[in-house]
Structure 1
């Protein structure tokens, strides 16, 4: 038989996670829920559906096997469909530990609030009115279902503590092995509950301001933790008595037992009363009585044992004072109600009637009588009052212990030896990690633009402007090659031909005009939809009267859509101005580009020849020309090398993938973040990683661009000096000057061609991005007008119906609000006049949570012979009795009905028109 003068913790019962299956949308690419039963969606079905609906980076089929493994593990632990509690076994202990670790890992992948609800019954309640095994009728209570993973995880963790405590209560404490096992079990239970206390802030923050479950509060869990510690200390006290330790030592151990029981009682009373942040929890009266009896009993035990120590040290006044105090405490315990308290505990309080000849109270009474008589006849010492007694320093032998698998569960989630199994949902990219990866893509593109692309463009533009101001290389080529087309200009002509020449620019401008008209038409359709809805609403309001047509007017309901349309109108206007600038530039350079694209024959006809031969130039000028040509060639090579750096940077940035690092960091931070910060990991936590990775990827390219810029500055200064020498060496004739101007004109035309090509490409990308936003706006306007139309029909039908016989409240007002999903980033065009509207898509989900209320729940001897006659009880006399303890299990919920609301028209009010 097992000792039952100690209490087990109540288990937290649950139901299997099952909900009615929802039919999938006709266009849904995913299989329907409830593959085994078309009428029921299991836990696995709901998890897969949630991931399919919320994850943009992970296909639900990748996590489907893990979702089924999750369901299988939960159903194995809580086997009954309703009111299930864990079985008392070591195997269940391992399963609960593994499930807690899996939930901890899942919380690194999913937010705490998900679309899967987990039902759990409050402590000390039952889903059934049937009596328990002990014959008691428990409080009937429905389950509290919350769509919250922290709620599931903490409920599992609590059951792990309850299972440890139950295994400790089941142990026989008649030998040393049983005592050690019981102490370890209660200490493990206390350790688990202490860990649960540190996790409660996470649950509270994840509930978004709602009160936490009544049984998962700090006061409630503290009471149960101190109860487990008190019972572990009591078993340690039992061993101290069995080992016949000194009375002073036993007194210290017993006092700590009393302190822990009193702490548990105080916390239970605090939980009953509730706080500003925690709802009250109805601790059962029998539990409070048990704690009060135990606290008073062991306070008496401690004083009695210390009185024996005082007797041995001839402290007769202290002995009398402590015996009086022990008698007072034991009388206090005996005077408390025993209803619902384990019989073995009641037996400890009784006098006689069981196999033990004397109870502790009887022994204390007899010792007090003897000591009083001895003192009156022999010692005449004044009994020490309680306030003057030297305090007993308690000795704590029990302490909370926590298994490494619970302290650091993620490090034990592996399929190897000693592991808790492979993590569930390992393939799922967490929401926070997905946001970080999206931010990484934006950051690296931005840094590429700011650190490489823009500086490279600015350097190229600076070089081109300097050469144009110096009329180079046209002046040099006109002098060096007085006849024909210079090779550098032929290269640029070939490049223009390869890009498609003038025809490509004309085609792209037509495409830009076409997509601009399409975008303008989409915006016009959106405005027309809103205008039509406003006209319809105004007609209804006029027909029924403003006093009766109570829904919000169109200009108020459609304000967000109107505002969004105005923003897009501004963007289209700015884009149109940019398009006009490109068309004007095209008209200015069209003829030059046509000649340039014609190749060597057309260029030769368009470029005049010079009459001065290069061989007739002075030697000084020839030397300057050679030096200047060498510097220009170096500048050309430098620009080509810079273009290769830009291409390498584009490739490197595109290939820079930090997904694995982000996932590892997200899991590490989610597991090690400070308690009470709530679920998930913020983007700010990854700033260090993003900065370091950005520096690693971009720093080499940025350094190359900086060196290229410094080298270009030196070359341009050198070219300016050489050009001054070239000009000073001799003046060109008019023919040479005309040739210089022609060469410079066609060189500039090549630059303008590539500039317009870039502008048109950016314009097409801009309109493509803008068309997505305009399509979303048009769809939102269609949905808005459809909903408003249906609402108007219902309201009009209600107002036009014959009045009912009985008066009722006015027709209900339903407000249709436009969706907030249009607040998305607006595309920008770097080389155009653009307008940037910063918007971030946000979706607010409000989870309805149902809260279920918890239950309220001898002669005249000499002093030498008196010492020998002092009676020292055994451990059995002071405390434990052995008897089989009954176990109770909770069952299922019945949701409360929701009252219906009435509505209608009151004929007594008549019909009023606004």
Structure 2
């Protein structure tokens, strides 16, 4: 555990004798970059993490150095700024949620902490502490030396600039809910506090330099105005419960103090200009304001304890000074000058003179300018390709995949599918094959018949069906046995509890129905599954019966199949135009084959072009171009900066849209020609019934082959299902028998009798005669042997 978690500093707000307040520090717990970043480099960047071993070590050392000291000096400031600058740079190399957990505590509540995997969060907390260091360095400076006050003035302005930067540019990039010390209200309050105290340093220096009272009054008026803004910001939201009460009390006292100071100094200026009446009015106003401070601090014990002693002393000295000067001014005017005293409402407001400004040190606002110099050191992970390049490459791949696969290739596949659909609707090329090959069989039927024979033909399919039906029956039998076991146990339970004395253990015994809900639910689930499986088996049986004649033929040899298929050899078509019609239709179908083959080649070419389309080098060139235009190496790359690159790279695929459009036109014309030729072909065949018979027979055989494959697949799948469910059912049956046996033994214990006596008792309770000679052989128990509910498999 690091920053200030080891031992508290003597005074976290700076010098307790100072009238100025310093921002508190955020504390943190130990965090190591080395392993997480090494793993990320290896997995996401495909680079050897060993090449960045020194950078990883230095980064961990920077964090430790920035968060492990209690002393406040310029060296601590430099270490924090160096770590912050390197964080800014590596955020251009890695994603913020790289997998490293950062834990930071609320600066104003040590019990409040949050842990996030967010390097933006880490950067914000480090920057907060840089602002706190600036404020503490300012508080360490003397208020009695003009040079020290000048330094403090600069430190407070820097602190205000840090909190301004944190609020408007850094915290907004954090991706999680932060503690209240990083809220917009708190950062505004801290910025205003730093500006108030910077202006207060100007006032102190003005007093030491004996500046004109009129100018000192204007400076003091600005201090009061800034403290008023701090009070307003510190009272927003939940900050009233976050900012220390002593701080809020100090803000209010300081506002009153400098309001009185502005009026006192302006009164002194009026005295110098002989405006005695106005002097009296302003002295009285200053005295009234001092009275308010007196009521708050000197008359209220809580306030006197919460306000620092040095501030209370300042208020006392001011009250004494203003009171004495007010008495003098009133006396002199009443006795000597007799100048009319204006009312307070008519006094001209003192125009504030603001010198304090929020000034973010350039090394913090633009750390990239200082990378490579002594202040921040060489940039870490300089050779690592920024993470955004990987994101951009991935985004381009997604867009390319969408364009190539889901747009261009999908459109070509859709054209081909449309073409095949049209040919199928025209029964082509089967109708043409039936004419050209009046004897013999198409290759698809021959291959299908070989497949059917290799699987045992129709008989093999029926054996599979019989196996499935048998498995279903065996599974139902096991389920029946389980149900019978539970039924017998329930009957026994009813006899045990019958006529049981009220309040006895037998009467209190849980009923079987209460204990078997789970088992019966499982039975119902298995019964439904078996019923559904049985219905599927029945559907498969109907398919087999419907196509049995074709399947029986397909189970025969090729010669036998050819003999059974109708042939047109003995009765050829006599239409003199038939040959010309067939030749033309055959030519069109050949053109379809060529078109589809060339289309497949085009698709392969398109896939090859897409596979070789590596956008990473172009993205790197664009990144270098953007970096060259920037004055800092810490350039926050955004994906939208590469949109022009994406458009240029994807533009080369535009020509494929034109190709697809041309393919669609060619296919439309070709299919129209095929429809026309097919119509003529159909007319030529209308007077040849044997040819139609052959075509229908071939179609039936094709369909039977498909049905065989579907049935075979479904039956094999069903047998695997039955094997699994049968194992589960046996386990269920064993559970039922174990349950019944345990209940039986419990029943014996409740009755307090032996096994042989129990049958007689139960038989008597059920109205049956006792004795083994009169027992039903199907009864639950046999007195001569152990309890047996059902036979185990």
Please say whether Structure 1 and Structure 2 have the same fold, judged by a TM-score greater than 0.5: yes
Cα displacement (A) at 1:697: 11
1:147 aligns with 2:147: no
TM-score, length-scaled by structure 2 = 0.58
| Structure 1 equivalent of residue 339 of structure 2 | 381
Cα displacement (A) at 1:101: 4.0
Q: Greater helix share, 1 or 2?
A: 2
Higher relative contact order (CA 8 A, sep 6+): 1
**Cα distance in 1 between the residues matched to 2:230 and 2:239:** 17
| Structure 2 equivalent of residue 392 of structure 1 | 350
Query: Residue 550 of structure 2 contacts residue 704 of structure 2 at CA under 8 Å; is this kept in 1?
Result: no
Cα displacement (A) at 1:255: 0.9
Deviation per CA, 1:160-194: give whole Å up to 9, x if none. 21101122334567888755543332122123334
**Cα distance in 2 between the residues matched to 1:177 and 1:232:** 14
Q: Mapping of 1:15-94 within 5 angstroms?
A: 16-17=29-30, 43=32, 71-79=60-68, 88-89=74-75, 90-94=77-81
**Cα distance in 2 between the residues matched to 1:307 and 1:319:** 4
Q: Mapping of 1:800-879 within 5 angstroms?
A: none
Query: Residue 260 of structure 2 contacts residue 290 of structure 2 at CA under 8 Å; is this kept in 1?
Result: yes
Helix, strand or coil at the partner of 1:382: coil
What number of residue pairs does the alignment pair up? 643
TM-score, length-scaled by structure 1 = 0.51
Distance 1:705 1:573, change over 3 A: farther
Distance 1:288 1:733, change over 3 A: closer
Cα displacement (A) at 1:720: 1.3
**Cα distance in 1 between the residues matched to 2:601 and 2:461:** 27
Cα displacement (A) at 1:254: 1.7
| Structure 1 equivalent of residue 782 of structure 2 | none
| Structure 1 equivalent of residue 129 of structure 2 | 159
Query: Residue 482 of structure 1 contacts residue 609 of structure 1 at CA under 8 Å; is this kept in 2?
Result: yes
**Cα distance in 1 between the residues matched to 2:359 and 2:410:** 60
**Cα distance in 2 between the residues matched to 1:58 and 1:573:** 52
Cα displacement (A) at 1:303: 1.9
Helix, strand or coil at the partner of 1:120: strand
Query: Residue 452 of structure 2 contacts residue 708 of structure 2 at CA under 8 Å; is this kept in 1?
Result: no
| Structure 2 equivalent of residue 633 of structure 1 | 590
Stretch deviating more after TM superposition (728-737 or 571-580): 571-580
| Structure 2 equivalent of residue 251 of structure 1 | 217
> Which of 649, 659, 676 is the equivalent residue of 1:721?
676
**Cα distance in 1 between the residues matched to 2:357 and 2:567:** 101
Stretch deviating more after TM superposition (176-185 or 383-392): 176-185
Query: Residue 234 of structure 1 contacts residue 254 of structure 1 at CA under 8 Å; is this kept in 2?
Result: yes
Cα displacement (A) at 1:298: 1.7
Cα displacement (A) at 1:296: 2.5
Q: Mapping of 1:313-462 within 5 angstroms?
A: 315-330=275-290, 332-333=292-293, 336-337=297-298, 345=311, 348-349=314-315, 368=326, 371-372=329-330, 375-376=333-334, 380-402=338-360, 421-422=379-380, 460=416, 462=418
Cα displacement (A) at 1:260: 1.9
Distance 1:465 1:227, change over 3 A: closer
| Structure 2 equivalent of residue 227 of structure 1 | 193
Query: Residue 224 of structure 2 contacts residue 258 of structure 2 at CA under 8 Å; is this kept in 1?
Result: yes
**Cα distance in 2 between the residues matched to 1:394 and 1:369:** 27
**Cα distance in 1 between the residues matched to 2:328 and 2:244:** 42
Distance 1:288 1:109, change over 3 A: closer
Deviation per CA, 1:124-157: give whole Å up to 9, x if none. x8xxxxxxxxxxxxxxxx6545434577665433
Helix, strand or coil at the partner of 1:110: coil
Query: Pairwise CA RMSD of aligned residues?
Result: 7.1
| Structure 2 equivalent of residue 120 of structure 1 | 105
Distance 1:482 1:444, change over 3 A: same
Q: Which runs of 5+ in 2 are unaligned?
A: 1-14, 299-303, 498-503, 621-639, 736-793
| Structure 2 equivalent of residue 470 of structure 1 | 426
**Cα distance in 1 between the residues matched to 2:106 and 2:530:** 56
Q: Mapping of 1:301-700 within 5 angstroms?
A: 301-308=261-268, 310=270, 315-330=275-290, 332-333=292-293, 336-337=297-298, 345=311, 348-349=314-315, 368=326, 371-372=329-330, 375-376=333-334, 380-402=338-360, 421-422=379-380, 460=416, 462-479=418-435, 584=543, 588=547, 608=567, 610=569, 618=576, 621-643=578-600
Query: Residue 316 of structure 1 contacts residue 381 of structure 1 at CA under 8 Å; is this kept in 2?
Result: yes
Query: Residue 24 of structure 2 contacts residue 107 of structure 2 at CA under 8 Å; is this kept in 1?
Result: no
**Cα distance in 2 between the residues matched to 1:220 and 1:206:** 17
| Structure 2 equivalent of residue 24 of structure 1 | none
Distance 1:477 1:444, change over 3 A: same
Query: Residue 77 of structure 1 contacts residue 86 of structure 1 at CA under 8 Å; is this kept in 2?
Result: no
Cα displacement (A) at 1:231: 0.9
Query: Residue 104 of structure 1 contacts residue 153 of structure 1 at CA under 8 Å; is this kept in 2?
Result: no
Distance 1:265 1:110, change over 3 A: same
Query: Residue 82 of structure 2 contacts residue 377 of structure 2 at CA under 8 Å; is this kept in 1?
Result: no
Query: Residue 444 of structure 1 contacts residue 653 of structure 1 at CA under 8 Å; is this kept in 2?
Result: yes
Query: Residue 34 of structure 2 contacts residue 60 of structure 2 at CA under 8 Å; is this kept in 1?
Result: no
Helix, strand or coil at the partner of 1:302: helix
**Cα distance in 2 between the residues matched to 1:429 and 1:607:** 71
Helix, strand or coil at the partner of 2:192: helix
| Structure 2 equivalent of residue 803 of structure 1 | none
**Cα distance in 2 between the residues matched to 1:237 and 1:56:** 59
| Structure 2 equivalent of residue 894 of structure 1 | none
Q: Which runs of 5+ in 1 are unaligned?
A: 18-41, 126-141, 352-359, 664-684, 786-914
**Cα distance in 1 between the residues matched to 2:385 and 2:516:** 47
Helix, strand or coil at the partner of 1:395: coil
